[in-house]
Structure 1
Amino acid sequence: MSERAPAPGGLALVESLLNTVDFASGADALDTAECRARLGLTDDPERLEEARELRESLRATLLAHAGHPPHRAVTPLGDLLARVPLHVTVDPADGSAALAPADPEPLPARIAAAVAEALVAGTWTRLKACESPTCHWAYYDRSPAGRGRWCSMQVCGARAKMRRYRAKEPRQAGQPGQPEQSSRTKET
């Protein structure tokens, strides 16, 4: 939906996984070989179902980052990521350390490492899901206050604001609940 810059670091992978489904049309890019290859997924139906479950748990978490309830019940993200072993790697050149997946093949392992990286960097809660129920697109909130609500102010934000404006508009005369305007003329 959005033309925003991708999320930084490993969060780009998380964002990419989340944005594989289009809620408006129902299209799921995980059904395409190209998308699966881009995400490093095999055609194994069990792995594909695991990726979908992970995607929706991530979406519920990102909706929470933006202050919104999940759109449906899902397995908690912490439960899914607890199944993934990570280990500490240390770069011998500069001594920097990072959490890395014990097995970098499965998508959940790479997602867990990306979340850990984002936690350390302080960027995890900036990855959010659009509040629009027909969108829920993932985006990285680059606003100064970190209070972004929509993937795009020009599309989802504008639609939400227009709906709110129209709900506040006074009703036209003659509609239920409004008094009729008088059409009497002044008598002389």
Structure 2
Amino acid sequence: MAERPIPEDLALLVRLLNTSDLEAGLDGLVTPAALAEVDPALTLAPGELPALRRLREALRAAGLAHHVEDAPPPAELTALFARAPLVVEVADDGAALLVPAPGLHGLPAFTARVAAVVAAAEARGEWRRFRVCEADDCRWAYYDQSPAGRRRWCSMRTCGARAKMRAYRAKQTQAKQAQQRAGEGPMPPAGAPAPSGGERNGGAATPPPPRP
């Protein structure tokens, strides 16, 4: 079965999140010029970059919550969207779209644009396919193109393979520990005499040495 194509609006969010490479310890959102990697038309003041990084990490929390049960709730994203209102715009052909409210500029305008992307993706049933790699040392963003929508890692060949190997080794260790515990047997009660040599040697009694 063919994979789903990545919607262009969600691809914008993937590009935004992947300006941060956790594994390499690199962050691309340090200068306004780096915004071209996200969107060539995006322009922000240098002082808005920290707030953009905050938006990026709030989106990362949402992508992780889509498939990791114990992930922290992405409450901050709601707070950020509340400061970037949307309005319904009706086109000449009658189509209705959510667009940034008039008067927004810079980061608030971009945040409203991101909110519109999220709303549109939710309406299409695709928002939960925007995900973040489950590996703690990766957290790379991706669009889940699998037919069942259950992909957990950015790549099965790298993070997925490492996770499965760790799970296999942990299972092997648990099995060995269980075998060791089963082989020890119950401890003798306190005060019980130590087993004789015959008992230690499988029941065959060892004769005492001859007297001189």
What is the Cα deviation at residue 5 of structure 1?
8.5
Partner residue, 1:61: 62
Q: Summarize the alignment of residues 32-47 of structure 1 with structure 2, pairs less than 5 Å apart.
A: 32-39=31-38, 40-45=42-47, 47=48
Q: 2:129 aligns with which of 126, 130, 143?
A: 126
What is the Cα deviation at residue 69 of structure 1?
3.8
Find the residue that maps to 1:84 and give its secondary structure.
Answer: coil
Count, aligned residues: 172
- The separation in 2 between residues aligned to 1:166 and 1:16, in whole angstroms, is 34
Partner residue, 2:78: 78
Unaligned runs of 5+ in 1: 180-188
Partner residue, 2:115: 112
- The verdict on how the C-alpha distance between 1:76 and 1:86 changes in structure 2, with shifts beyond 3 A counting, is same
Partner residue, 1:144: 147
- The verdict on how the C-alpha distance between 1:26 and 1:61 changes in structure 2, with shifts beyond 3 A counting, is same
What is the Cα deviation at residue 169 of structure 1?
2.3
More displaced stretch, 129-138 vs 111-120: 111-120
Decide whether the 8 Å contact of 1:7 with 1:139 is kept in 2: no
What is the Cα deviation at residue 133 of structure 1?
0.5
What is the Cα deviation at residue 75 of structure 1?
5.6
What is the Cα deviation at residue 108 of structure 1?
1.0
- The separation in 2 between residues aligned to 1:160 and 1:95, in whole angstroms, is 49
Decide whether the 8 Å contact of 1:7 with 1:15 is kept in 2: no
What is the Cα deviation at residue 33 of structure 1?
4.4
Report the TM-score when normalising by structure 2. Answer: 0.71
Find the residue that maps to 2:151 and give its secondary structure.
Answer: coil
Find the residue that maps to 2:26 and give its secondary structure.
Answer: coil
What is the Cα deviation at residue 31 of structure 1?
1.7
Decide whether the 8 Å contact of 2:4 with 2:145 is kept in 1: no
Partner residue, 2:207: none
Decide whether the 8 Å contact of 1:6 with 1:139 is kept in 2: no
Partner residue, 1:88: 88
Partner residue, 2:26: 27
1:82 maps to a residue whose letter is A
Find the residue that maps to 2:131 and give its secondary structure.
Answer: strand
Partner residue, 1:49: 50
- The separation in 2 between residues aligned to 1:49 and 1:170, in whole angstroms, is 44
Report the TM-score when normalising by structure 1. Answer: 0.79
- The separation in 2 between residues aligned to 1:120 and 1:114, in whole angstroms, is 10
- The verdict on how the C-alpha distance between 1:98 and 1:13 changes in structure 2, with shifts beyond 3 A counting, is same
Higher relative contact order (CA 8 A, sep 6+): 1
